[in-house]
Structure 1
Amino acid sequence: MTTTVPDLHAVQSRTVRTLSIAQVFSGLGNGSTLALGSILAVDLAGSEAWAGAVNTALTLGTAATAIPLSQLALARGRRAALTTGLGAAIIGAGLMVAAVLTTGFPLLLAGAFLVGLGSAVNLQARFAVTDLAVPARRGRDLSLVVWAITIGAVAGPNMVGPGAVLAGWLGIPAQAGPFVISAAGMVLGVGIIAVFLRPDPLLTRRALDGNANEHSGPTGGKNPWRAGWQILRAHPTAAAAVTAVVAAHAVMVAVMSMTPLHMQHQAGATAGHLDTIALIGFTISLHIAGMYALSPVMGWLTDRLGPTPTVLTGMGTLITAVALTGLAPGHMGAVTAGLVLLGLGWSAVTVAGSTLLVSSLAPAQRVPAQGFSDATMSLAGAAGAAAAGPAMGLIGYPGVSALAALLVIAATLVLLRLNRATR
């Protein structure tokens, strides 16, 4: 019997195109949830104390399902894991529509949790594109999939207007309309992955490595959290990569989540309400652009300079960002510049750190470590957001920035120590 060897270049090009296009549509759900979540939470719960509940549920949904989705990828391939996660997110968008129709707060939280699986899919997609990537282009291929999120992430919050028009046509409340659009976008994303992500990149890699019959991966029946942790303990470079990614995400979420409140306090006294909202929206848009728009540049730098130097450059950018927000909190230009640099630093660390994680492990070890990385990254974001609120009340916005700087410095020292241990 003759074994057909696939054209890996053609398969990889198809994988990059498929996942990039799918990311455009799958990102719509998170964008709409982030834009309307706090407003709906207050409306349905009747108290501002619940304003952060939807975003917390969204983040916890990502954290809780990153490892199960990686286990599903090990058992049945990337296509099964990505379509399952997006399918759950579509149900979540439907629950959020139902929550608006019935004014049900628990339904809103359940929907946000399931929409969080869409974010877990977005995270796993960046690793899926590296399964068959050649080492010299691994960073660039990964960064292209990250870049594709830009369109959905920016378009999602702007679905409020079109969503209201659609809601009028459907005879439902205006706030439900954006989630109908989000669900439709994710349906397209599922269809694109289901039809075009063939052959499955992870299963193809496994077949090429002679492990076609292995369905449980390297966990050996162990708790997947423990399996991921043990892989990182045995590979200091992989541990350094995860440390950097987790710290960068926690810092980015903490500072970003407190910036709108800080800007409202600073600008509210000197500008009208609409001017303040416009300024905040402009700043957050620039921050999101910093996170995603230049990710191909970060991928190019990763392949050109190496993952570790690019991670360290990103950590330095994060230090500069929180220095600006902490030392010039009353200057809105400095705060805006700080938020842009915060996004750029996050982008560099996330792209290069993810590439470093893949490069430092054998193929059979990658998926459990990737699931562990995504789960801890999401938990760190939730913890950063939760801790930033009380810190803001106690020590103000400059204090939040100072704590963020300390975390970046500590993570950088750990990264350097682990790299020395590897050498």
Structure 2
Amino acid sequence: MYEEYWTKNHFDVQAWVSFAPNLSASNILKLIIQRLKEDNVTCSRGEARKNLKEELEKGKYLLVIDGEVSSTEWKSILNDLPDGMAGSKVVQITQTKPESSPSTLQPIELEDLNEDEATNLFLKTLFMKEKGKKYWKAVKEAVGKNHYGKDIFEITGGLPLAVVLLSGLLRTKEYPGEWEKVFDYLKNKAIQWKRLDSVLSMCFDDLPHDMKSCFLYFAALPVNTLIRARSLVCMWMAEGFLRPKDGKQMEKVGEQYLKELIARRLVNLAPMEYEASGDERVAVQTKVHDFLLHEAQEASFVEVHGGDDIPILSNARRLSLQNHRDKYAALANYLPKLRSILSNFEEEVEARKEEDQLGTVEKEEDPLGTEEKEEEKQNQQACPCLHHSARGRLQGDHTHQVCHTATPARI
């Protein structure tokens, strides 16, 4: 609906922002500014208010805020937004009901699809026309006229996400033989498991081994957060998930894996307004992220923590720190299997300016030798999504201070 012609024609200014939970109002406002200006600008909260007024008073605006926000932060956001022209709208997408419903708030609770709606969504997202018109026609008739429509509804329960994931799974299967096997399996599972869990589990199990690791890596990233596709492929390369294949370099293999995950509907491309050549952004849906987080922790693939207290992590291979606002986390235990640390926190403009000043002083007495600096420069050029700072190295054998500015993945 957001991308529809009539929506773009009705509003003069549009922006959609997605973010992880617990983000402050000031940082959400900065995200909105970045979307409106299509630039990675940094500014104080006062400057953000001024920029918002300049951008949003140009006409009737639509802002979509996709993320969990506390009632206090939400009120703060609304207070900072200008009124704009009559008909301007601010939409929040949330999985929780609002604590209160003032007259200006109009909650819309989405309902599950009925059988006809589920069937239409399935066909719309199936995309099998590349297999030929005759094949596609046979599939459409089987879904629309035969019992497949009922099977789709029975398996998914009308949940839109389950319908889309099922279409992504079946587009990789031969009709009708393999379709029948998938339907029979999922109908039996739907009795024992939650419908969405059974579909997600089969979609995950159906992935090739190398692609599973790439998909699981989304669990280490903050939920509901867009990431540059190129940066993600770089991280997969750095983790060792990719190998040259069929004469293709690792980066091309990673791009192929990502395209396949998108085609299977497991990964989503960002709305077109964010995309530029070579700068596409991707994300996974919140429920998919929850599933991946459970699978990743069961397999000791990654440990995710949102606070300062880190428990014993003797089996953790990757550690994702998502406490957002605290710059340091104390790791009080030896971590023999730890391979990488990912972090994400809110970086205020004032703190960044202070860090830049410190960086200027440090350049005069850089502890790295010429050869080391040249090697680090080459590594950053080869994989710009990876960031390493000498100040953030682990120190000592038992007690470590991990600085969030020394992050292997800046998102």
The TM-score with structure 1 as length reference comes to: 0.22
User: Which structure's residues are more often helix, by fraction?
Assistant: 1
Q: Which structure carries more relative contact order (alpha carbon 8 Å, separation 6+)?
A: 1
Pair member with larger Rg: 2
